[in-house]
Each structure stands twice: as structure tokens, then as C-alpha cells.
Structure 1
Amino acid sequence: FYSVYKGGANTWSFGGEYLQTYKPYGAKGRIPVAQFTGEVGYNLHLLSDYSQTFHLYGGVSALGGYETVNWGKQLLPDGSIIQAEDAFIYGGAVTLSADIYLSDHVALGAHIKERFVFGNDTGHFLFAYGLHLKYQF
């Protein structure tokens, strides 16, 4: 992701994301569902400590992209056919993220995100979390 800082430490963010989840199938089977999305969002600076080494952000974003179910293969090994099809998707997300600055230019962070995705057959709400490393020029 690429972020642009605005007044009050708020940011605009632009980027792409790959998310792979698995839908359960049968006793031990799983069907992969992959999403490739582009995202534009605004992050509001919520809190920071006195030394400015810790920052907490809340954000909203719009997203759009493509979802593939079982990498486009509708026939499963047991002969079943997947009814869900690959699709163009759109939606939004809400995010809560925290950054801890290790130096003037490097920050380590964590985020949680709830994505609201429409246009697909596999579900509309996806929870994601992760770690990130930021470098500021």
C-alpha cells in the first residue's frame, strides 16, 4: 500500500491486496477462494502517545477486483460441480490499525479489517488481520 499523510496525521491509502480463504467441503476437504482487489481508503488518526512512537488509526475504504473459486475449476475430484462462479467484486472495508515507530522512518504495525464484498457467490463478509512494515521517505 501507498499512503499519503494529510493534516492531523490522517492518511489516504492506495493499494492492492491478495486474500485467499478456504470454504469447507465434505469431511476433510477445502475449496480455495482467492480475491485480487484494488483499494482506496481514508484513515483517521485516533490516538498517539506523547513521544509520537505509537499511533492508532481507524479507516474506511472502497474496493473492487476479481474473485476466483477453486481457480476456475468447477469439477471436484469426487465428481461434484461447484455452483459458485468466478466474478468481478466490489465493496468496502473498515479497518483498525496500530503503528509503533522503531526509528524516524520505520514502523511496525498490526491491523484488523472487516471487508464487505458484493457481486460474488461465496459470502459477503470477510475478516482479515495482519502485520505490516512501513518505511517513510
Structure 2
Amino acid sequence: MGTKNFKTFVLNLGGGGIIGYEVINNGNSLLETGAIIDAKSQFIYGVFIGLEGEITLSNDFSLLIKANEYYHINSDVGQFYPYAGIGLRYFLF
């Protein structure tokens, strides 16, 4: 029998800077309803903070649960943007 040499649960906290290009309505300023969008496509920048939990299922697999909150300083759509995800990680080596 092999030895169990791994942690069963890990919690990580992180953050950083972000930069990107925001495209609004594919560049069209007119909606199908006739409403006019006054926001423009532009480069955006900001910061984010994230929390990630990892539950080890076996020597080869772990379950990931992730939540990020993005803050876009100059976005016309909205400054705060949440992200949440769940995934399965497979270890090759």
C-alpha cells in the first residue's frame, strides 16, 4: 500500500492587475429596439482579487472551486464584474 502524501484541501487567495479591450455590442451604437448606446469600445484596466479552493480527490485528480471579483476602473459597462467557476484538475506527473 502506498502512502498518502498530499493535502486534502488547499485554499489560495490572490490578486493582480488586468488590462484588456472591451467591445460593446460588436461596435454597433444602435440596438434592435432603436435605443442608442453612447458607450464606446475601448481599452480597459483594473485590478482583481480571487479565492480558489482545491479538494484533492486522488493522486491524479482534484476538484477546483474559484471565485474572482474584477474592478474595471474605466469601463463603460460596469466597474465590478464577478466570476465563479468549478473544474476538475488532472495531474500528468
TM-score bracket for this pair, using the shorter chain length: 0.7 to 0.9
The residue type equivalent to 1:63 in the other structure is I
Alignment match, 1:101: 56
Distance 1:122 1:104 in 2: 43
Runs of at least 5 residues in structure 2 that lack an aligned partner in the other structure: 1-5
Check if 1:117 corresponds to 2:72: yes
TM-score, with structure 1 as normaliser: 0.57
Specify which structure has the higher proportion of strand. Answer: 1
Identity, in percent, stands at 37
**Bigger RCO of structures 1 and 2 (CA < 8 A, at least 6 apart):** 2
TM-score, with structure 2 as normaliser: 0.81
Runs of at least 5 residues in structure 1 that lack an aligned partner in the other structure: 1-50
Look at both structures and tell me which one has the larger radius of gyration over its CA atoms: 2
The residue type equivalent to 1:78 in the other structure is T
After superposition, the CA RMSD in angstroms is 1.6
SS at match of 1:128: strand
How many matched pairs? 87
> How far 1:84 moved relative to its partner?
0.9
